[in-house]
């Protein structure tokens, strides 16, 4: 992006708004966040503002500050996860079973909800996926004495992109490493 252009201050009329990095406060979901953004500052009254060209950048920064505070993936981290899997926004949307506009919005400042954030993590971050699998499996065995049944094909379909794009392994080899057999049950004939 270009540097903001110098102009007369519309607040005091005495100074000039010069381009510089300025701290501006924005709000997301009723919370206040101050971010550093390309903007303009008056040489006389000190007014800090941004022009329309930088409003998108400001929106992303405020949204990402909110996300970081609440433990959500930032737009940049979502884009990086998508790129690690080698997917376009359209392919990533199909993979998550959402519309392509959703992926574009998340990468450009719209905040995803916690459930979607968790889905993105599970489908893009191997350690999160395995940790969630172990938590669900452990929760299912508590109290009931019966382990939850997770079919290998279902688990492999979720984790296959890791195996194929990040580790260059085939699905079956990955499944054996990620989900080792701990007990074999074979019904009598």
Q: What is the mean pLDDT of each run of 10 residues along the chain (189 residues)?
A: 71 93 95 96 95 91 96 96 90 93 95 94 78 66 48 52 52 48 45
Is the pTM of the predicted complex or chain greater than 0.85? no
Report the alpha-carbon distance of residue 145 to residue 137 in Å, rounded: 11
Report the alpha-carbon distance of residue 176 to residue 137 in Å, rounded: 17
- The Cα diameter of the chain in Å comes to 93
- The CATH class that applies to domain 7-69 reads alpha beta
Q: Roughly what angle, to the nearest 10 degrees, separates helices 75-84 and 114-124?
A: 30
């Amino acid at each position: 992006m270009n540097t903001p252009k110098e102009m007369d201050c519309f607040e005091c009329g005495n100074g000039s708004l010069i381009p510089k990095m300025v701290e501006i406060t924005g709000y997301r979901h009723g919370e206040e966040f101050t971010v550093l953004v390309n903007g303009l500052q008056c040489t006389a009254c000190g007014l800090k503002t941004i022009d329309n060209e930088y409003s998108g950048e400001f929106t992303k920064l405020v949204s990402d500050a909110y996300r970081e505070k609440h433990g959500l993936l930032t737009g940049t981290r979502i884009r990086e996860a998508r790129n690690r899997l080698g997917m376009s926004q359209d392919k990533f949307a199909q993979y998550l079973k959402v519309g392509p506009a959703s992926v574009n919005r998340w990468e450009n400042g719209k905040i995803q909800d916690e459930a979607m954030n968790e889905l993105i993590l599970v489908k893009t971050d191997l350690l999160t996926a395995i940790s969630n699998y172990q938590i669900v499996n452990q929760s299912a065995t508590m109290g009931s004495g019966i382990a939850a049944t997770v079919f290998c094909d279902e688990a492999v379909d979720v984790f296959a992109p890791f195996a194929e794009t990040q580790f260059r392994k085939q699905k079956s080899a990955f499944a054996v490493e990620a989900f080792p057999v701990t007990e074999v049950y074979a019904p009598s004939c």
